[in-house]
Amino acid sequence: MLTFILLLILFVVRTFHVYFFMRKISKICYKYDWKYIDEYGDPLLDVLADEDTYYVKAEWSAYNFLFLKGPSPLKMFFSLKPLTIKDQYSKEAVEKLNRYELN
């Protein structure tokens, strides 16, 4: 019984960690996309044309390379790696984020 309670607590704590990490990543993606748009300007037309799904086609979008091409939340949940950007994502993704000092 004690083992079950400890596993349940571990499961709940890890769920909260992953949830708050994903919220943090979402905020970073939002900042990255707008800094990228401020620098280049052209992607603004893509965002305005299709505000809800622009990141699916836009290779420059942080939502694209962090959420769509990055590890899944389920994989993060069961990973033994710490929930940090450097540990969860590829070097290329981390370098892109470092370019705008969002890491």
Q: Compute the distance between CA of residue 83 and CA of residue 73 in angstroms, rounded to an integer.
A: 11
Q: Compute the distance between CA of residue 57 and CA of residue 75 in angstroms, rounded to an integer.
A: 24
pTM, two decimal places: 0.86
pLDDT surpasses 70 at 97: yes
Please tell me the predicted confidence (pLDDT) of residue 65: 94
**pLDDT grade for 35, boundaries at 50, 70 and 90:** very high
Q: SS3 helix, strand, coil % of the chain, rounded to 5?
A: 75, 0, 25
Please tell me the predicted confidence (pLDDT) of residue 61: 92
Q: Answer for the pair 83, 17: CB distance below 8 angstroms, yes or no.
A: yes
- From the list 101, 103, 100, the residue with the least C-alpha distance to 35 is 100
Model confidence pLDDT, tens digit, residues 38-82: 988 788 877 888 777 888 888 899 999 999 999 999 999 999 999
Q: Compute the distance between CA of residue 14 and CA of residue 17 in angstroms, rounded to an integer.
A: 5
Angle at which helices 91-99 and 2-40 pack, to 10 degrees?
Answer: 50
**pLDDT grade for 103, boundaries at 50, 70 and 90:** low
